[in-house]
Amino acid sequence: MTLVLEDLQIPGYERVVALTDPSVALKGIIAIHSTDLGPSLGGIRMYPYTSFDDALTDVLRLSKGMTLKSALSQCGTGGGKSVIIGDPAIHKTEALFHSFGRAVDKMMGQYICAEDVGITPQDVNIIHETTKYVVGLHKEKSSGNPAPYTAWGTFRGIQAGLKQVYGTDSVDGRTIAIQGLGSVGMTLAEILFWQGARLIVADVNPQRVQQAQAKFGAQVVPVSEIHTAACDVFAPCALGAVFDDRSIPELRCRIIAGCANNQLLEERHARSLKNRAILYAPDFVINAGGLLNVSVELDKEGYDPHISRQKVDGIYDQLLTIFDISGKSDVSTHEAALSLAEYRLKYHIGKRAEQIAFDHVGAEV
């Protein structure tokens, strides 16, 4: 065994662990931000970070975002995330995932993992071979790929934004620009198409944009220009830090509602959006569909897709509440969401009352 876990002392985080296993070329980090409302749950991101510090910055932001997302969705989990440093196209091996699974297992349930950017449900099935602390598996009593639920939650968030701005939540005839056509973005595009929306799309993968153009009649624009498209709704569905001092003045939308994490480069940019009368659906609210879905796996009754769908539909009302707080308090929607999340964390609103159940994993581990 060459797996080494090194605890890093990071103020404001319950536990941050650096993972190394030179025998399988594993370098990664597990970050647990908070377990106040339940064990931390968050995806595994595999990405070719240029440095360990870049990976650390990303996992810290992501795990804190999961705490906020969990608090607002009231799913009974805390905030955690993990990253594996490497190119998912060339560095994936069963041995690497087995070693990562052993690292998760050493956390003794403090951290429960799932798929995220660069990781597939098939990959988490391999990780599950060395730990039971996994959700989103392709097997009975588990929910599989959470992307459809994330996409549905994003759609419901778009509807909430339309309701707030236009007085109706219908997307029929609305122009929606989607930045990123991964598994969530493409599913969202399909939902919007069948609901009558006109689509503008951009992605680094030319096959993805060609698919959207052929199936949905989408207008294709370069990735560097998608944020400048004239539209009712701009939906960032790729990587984060989309909105900054350069991009915000170039926006030509009324609403921002997408599933990407950490869309604001800095929190102050939410106020910049408000000053431009652009309604922003906070990312850690609108993209909670996948989390809500996999959290149902941990209920003692077992996974039920009908319960998942019902919980994801709640994103609509959650956002309308945040929009209302923002308007009445004259704060940005981001600030309104943070205030609501902090209130729930302080008073343990939504704390898991029952023990986590892992019936979906059986006795295989």
Mean pLDDT by 10 residues, the chain (365 residues): 95 98 98 96 96 97 93 96 97 98 96 92 93 84 83 98 98 98 96 98 97 98 97 94 97 97 94 98 96 91 91 97 97 98 95 78 41
Look up the domain containing 69 and give its range: 4-127
Q: What is the predicted pLDDT for the residue at 126?
A: 96
**Are 116 and 151 part of one and the same domain?**
no
Last residue of a domain, one of 97, 127, 157: 127
15: enclosing H helix or E strand: strand 15-21
Stated length of the chain: 365
Same domain? 24 vs 81: yes
Q: Are residues 112 and 170 in the same domain?
A: no
The answer as to whether 365 is a domain residue is no
CA distance 31 to 14: 8
Alpha-carbon distances of 30 from 27, 63, 199, 316, 356, rounded to whole Å: 11, 9, 37, 31, 20
Question: What are the tokens at 36?
Answer: 């106040």
| pLDDT at residue 362 in the model | 42
Domain of 121: which CATH number? 3.40.50.10860
Give the C-alpha separation, 348 to 236, whole Å. Answer: 31
Co-location of 107 and 163 in the same domain = no
The reply to whether 215 and 316 lie within a common domain is yes
Same domain as 56, residue 160: no
Active site residues: 81
DSSP-derived secondary structure letter, 109: T
Per the structure block, which two tokens stand in for 251? Answer: 């926006």
The tally of domains found in the chain comes to 2
Q: What's residue 363's pLDDT?
A: 34
Q: Check residue 261 and give its pLDDT.
A: 85
At 354 the pLDDT is 84
Is 228 contained in some domain? yes
Query: What pLDDT shows up at residue 319?
Result: 98
Question: Is the same domain home to 194 and 232?
Answer: yes
Q: Is residue 363 part of a domain?
A: no
pLDDT at 364: 44
pLDDT of residue 274: 98
Tell me, what's the pLDDT at 359? 57
Residue 10 lies in a domain: yes
